[in-house]
């Protein structure tokens, strides 16, 4: 006997809420969100913070013009963060005002991970992670893709600035300078790639 259930009657499981696809918080402008984030990060004393960093793509796709790019923040870990056990390298951050769709910002971060970012002394750094601020952490297939690409979201939660890559919290920092390390779960790499 066949099941009379139609496709429209099948349970779809938990669906992401409408606010999971837009930036969160209460910042009316991008400079306001970036300013808050810079102040928070400077108080931690855990990063050298580079604002409005300019970098150069290492390669270009056939449909893109080769030009320099600008990221809101480049975060180079300080000795205190390294001593606390952070081995996640340099972070690039894109700040957006609250209520913006997260897709364009995440797309920018994908590009930023393929960029050499000059800092003082002629040294260039390559970020390991890219985070969109302020945005809620994601779940499901989107989170899986984000984890594989080392892009994620950052937001303030219970007084700490949390950095999420996919469904994993990789780092939380506090204004006091305290650090809570997490991990990145990028799967076991099974299957053809």
CB 129 within 8 A of CB 89: yes
The two three-digit tokens of residue 106, written as one number: 């995440």
Each residue's pLDDT, cut to its tens digit, for the chain (193 residues) gives: 444 433 344 333 333 444 578 999 999 999 999 999 999 999 999 999 999 999 999 987 677 666 789 999 999 999 999 999 999 999 999 999 999 999 999 999 999 999 999 998 889 999 999 999 999 989 888 889 999 999 999 999 999 999 999 899 999 999 999 999 998 665 555 444 4
Q: Which parts of the chain are beta strand (E)? A: 47-57, 69-77, 91-95, 115-118, 124-125, 129-133, 151-157, 160-165, 168-174, 179-181
Q: What CA–CA distance (Å, rounded) separates 129 from 4?
A: 48
Rg (CA), the chain: 18
First to last CA, the chain: 41
CB 179 within 8 A of CB 81: yes
Residue 99 dihedral angles phi and psi, to the nearest 5°: 90, 5
pTM: 0.84
């Amino acid at each position: 006997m066949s099941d009379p259930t139609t496709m429209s009657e099948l349970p779809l499981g938990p669906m992401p809420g409408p606010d999971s696809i837009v930036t969160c918080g209460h910042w009316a402008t991008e400079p306001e969100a970036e300013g808050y984030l810079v102040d928070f990060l400077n108080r931690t004393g855990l990063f050298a913070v580079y604002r409005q960093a300019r970098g150069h793509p290492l390669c270009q796709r056939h449909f893109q013009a080769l030009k320099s790019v600008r990221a809101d923040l480049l975060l180079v870990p300080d000795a205190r963060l390294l001593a606390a056990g952070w081995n996640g390298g340099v972070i690039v951050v894109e700040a957006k005002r609250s209520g913006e769709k997260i897709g364009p910002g995440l797309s920018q971060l994908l590009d930023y991970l393929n960029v050499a970012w000059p800092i003082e002394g002629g040294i260039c750094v390559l970020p390991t992670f890219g985070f969109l601020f302020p945005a809620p952490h994601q779940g499901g297939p989107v989170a899986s893709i984000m984890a594989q690409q080392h892009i994620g979201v950052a937001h303030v939660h219970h007084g700490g600035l949390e950095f999420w890559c996919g469904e994993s919290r990789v780092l939380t920092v506090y204004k006091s300078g305290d650090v809570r390390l997490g991990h990145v779960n990028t799967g076991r790499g099974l299957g053809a790639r």
